[in-house]
Each structure stands twice: as structure tokens, then as C-alpha cells.
Amino acid sequence: MRSLVFYIVVALLYYIVGTISRAVGDENLEIVYQQAVRDSPEKIRRLIELTIKLACFRDFPLGELQKLSNDLQSDSLGITALRLFVIERLDMRPPTDGRELQRICDAAGLKLIPRLLERSREGRGGV
């Protein structure tokens, strides 16, 4: 039962923060952002800000990911949500450099499975 509640809360957090980060083009973003972070703890605010950067910025915010990932190590809910956002970003816009992919995964605490990585490269024409 505890694990079910955990996954429901992770899904809710993922949905809410994801919705906020995808609302960047909305003319009311500043109002939505201010309402969402006004009374939020610092770690939640940083998670929202990083998620916006993951969704909208071309360059990957690796330094911020490392810092937030370190700060969330004792927070199972936060680190799980952070990893889901990183996975989504990697799925939508994977880095072309394998070393960069490894650095991102290391920073987020994600494990690369070489067999799947090779299959992915083969499917993309060797990229």
C-alpha cells in the first residue's frame, strides 16, 4: 500500500511540474509560476526551474542537475521525479555524444544498459 501511494504521489508531482514547465509559451506563465512556487520549499522551486530548462533550453543544464540530484538523494519522491524529467528530456532530445549521455546519466543516478544503447544507435542510423 505504501508503494502504491508513493507512485501515485510521484505521478501527481510529475504531472503538475511537467504541466508548469510546458506552459512556458503561455502568456500567463509568470502568474502560474509565481503561484506554484510562492510557498514551495526551495528544492521544489529548483526542481520546477530545472524542469523548465530541460523542456525549453537547447543546452543541457548538467551543473544544475548534479547539484539538485545531490540535494535530493535523501528524498525518494524528489529524486524519482527528477529522474523521470531527465529521462523524458533524453528521450525527446538525446545528446549525440555518448560521453555527454554518460555524464547526464551519472549526474541523475541513471544506469545505462549498453545493449539498449547500441540498439538505439543502430535504430538511428548509427548516430
Concatenate the DSSP letters of all residues of 14-45 into one string.
HHHHHHHHHGGGSTTHHHHHHHHHTT--HHHH
Q: Which pLDDT does position 102 carry in this prediction?
A: 92
Question: Which of 57, 59, 45 shows the shortest CA–CA distance to 17?
Answer: 45
Grid-cell match 541523475, residue found: 108
The answer to whether the predicted template modeling score (pTM) of the entire model surpasses 0.75 is no
C-beta separation of 79 from 92 below 8 A? no
Q: Structural domain boundaries of the chain?
A: 2-123
pLDDT given at position 6 = 83
Ranges under pLDDT 50 in the chain: 125-127
Based on the number of CB atoms within 10 Å of its own CB, is 109 exposed (0-12), middle (13-18) or buried (19 or more)? middle
Q: What does the CA dihedral 37, 38, 40, 44 come to, rounded to 10 degrees?
A: 20
